[in-house]
Amino acid sequence: MSKLSTTFLGHTFANPLMNASGVYCMDATDLGALHTSDSGSYITKSCTLEARAGNPEPRYRATPLGSINSMGLPNKGYGYYLDLARAHDYSHKPLFMSVAGLSLADNLVMMRTIRDANLPAIVELNLSCPNVPGKPQIAYDFAAMDAMLAAVTKEYTRPIGVKMPPYFDIAHFDEAAAILNRYPTVAFITCINSIGNALVIDTESESVVIKPKDGFGGIGGDYVLPTALANVNAFYRRCPEKRVIGCGGVKTGEHVFQHLLAGASLVQVGTALQEEGPGIFARLNAELIALLDRKGYKNIDEVRGRLKTL
């Protein structure tokens, strides 16, 4: 066992790093680059029942502090990712599949098919998804979230994870965690998706920087690290039976370490991977090892959740 290796849901991971869904995972070429990278595992693009072209471009823009995007869930349809999951070499590294149905019915069709394929792939159900027009996304509509989880976990009885948007209010942490705790097969919680509906403005052109939604989009990168750490820690404290995957603002080994301290078992990289490419995993692993050595930690499991309060 190396310093960075860990186990999660019965799988062994060479290190805690993986991509965040949506980054470097649209097709076999992207995913192949992650397969040969130094990530411990990787996840496919959030998929829908049918393939989607997504929103008009430009729909992603990097900024000095992170990124903004309004991709509109472009993906090749769940059958494409399921075929890749069938062909995946699980002895090389574990694989996650992100599922993001546009309705409960769509999620049930996808989850039944994935269940029947009986693969070692681990499903991350994206709850940060559009719901009924005029209503908030699923994870911001607690009744819809509860109904979604009740129906999905009834059909799909193996462990799954949920990808959550950030919450900003203690009452919302409490309520979301209470709902998740009703479902024992929800084995992990990935925090966080992008902070939604931000607006980046370019001063020179006096314009928004992405085309969809009049420039409104989700932000990631430096903007979101403290919010991500808060959400990881909030769910780590409230859901002791579950594992947490940290996501948001990671671009150095130190950021990975902070996610582990907050309670993360694995750590995903979005914007920084998009900007630096899959070589980032070797750098993050090296930086994390150097930090663990300096602090005298023998492995990453010793770090998890050790955050001190004052």
Q: Which one among 220, 246, 253, 263 touches ligand FMN, defined by CB under 6 A?
A: 220
- Binding of ligand FMN at residue 262 (CB under 6 A)? no
Q: Is 129 designated active site? A: yes
Specify the DSSP class assigned to residue 107: H
Q: How many CA atoms lie within 13 A of 288 on its CB side?
A: 32
- Binding of ligand FMN at residue 186 (CB under 6 A)? no
In whole angstroms, the minimum distance from the beta carbon of 148 to ligand FMN comes to 15
Q: Residues in contact with ligand FMN, total (CB under 6 A)?
A: 28
What are the Cα distances from residue 85, in Å, to 21, 50, 75, 95, 97? 15, 17, 15, 7, 8
Cβ atoms of 228 and 192 closer than 8 Å: yes
In whole angstroms, the minimum distance from the beta carbon of 194 to ligand FMN comes to 4
In whole angstroms, the minimum distance from the beta carbon of 60 to ligand FMN comes to 5
Q: Which of the ranges 175-183, 189-197, 229-237, 277-285 carries the binding residues for ligand FMN, by CB under 6 A?
A: 189-197
Phi, psi of 160 (to 5 degrees): -130, 170
**Nearest Cα to 68, choosing from 277, 232, 212?**
212
Site string for ligand FMN, 28-67 (x = CB under 6 A): -----------------xx-------------x------x
Cβ atoms of 66 and 209 closer than 8 Å: no
Specify the DSSP class assigned to residue 123: E
In whole angstroms, the minimum distance from the beta carbon of 179 to ligand FMN comes to 19
Mention every residue, 6+ apart, whose C-beta is less than 8 A from residue 171: none
Nearer to ligand FMN, 94 or 166 (CB): 166
AA letter at 19? N
Question: Which residue's CB comes closest to ligand FMN?
Answer: 22
Nearer to ligand FMN, 194 or 258 (CB): 194
Q: Which one among 15, 39, 194, 265 touches ligand FMN, defined by CB under 6 A?
A: 194
Cβ atoms of 258 and 286 closer than 8 Å: no
- Binding of ligand FMN at residue 97 (CB under 6 A)? no
In whole angstroms, the minimum distance from the beta carbon of 165 to ligand FMN comes to 9
Nearer to ligand FMN, 22 or 278 (CB): 22
What distance in Å separates the CA atoms of residue 224 and residue 293, rounded to the nearest whole number?
27
Burial 99-119 (b: 16+ CB within 10 A, else e): bbbeebebbbebbeebeeeeb
Which of the following is catalytic: 25, 47, 129, 239?
129
**Nearest Cα to 164, choosing from 296, 292, 286, 21?**
21
Contact footprint for ligand FMN (CB under 6 A): 20-23, 45-46, 60, 67, 69, 71, 98, 126, 163, 192-194, 220-221, 224, 247-250, 269-272, 274
- What are the residue numbers of the active site? 129
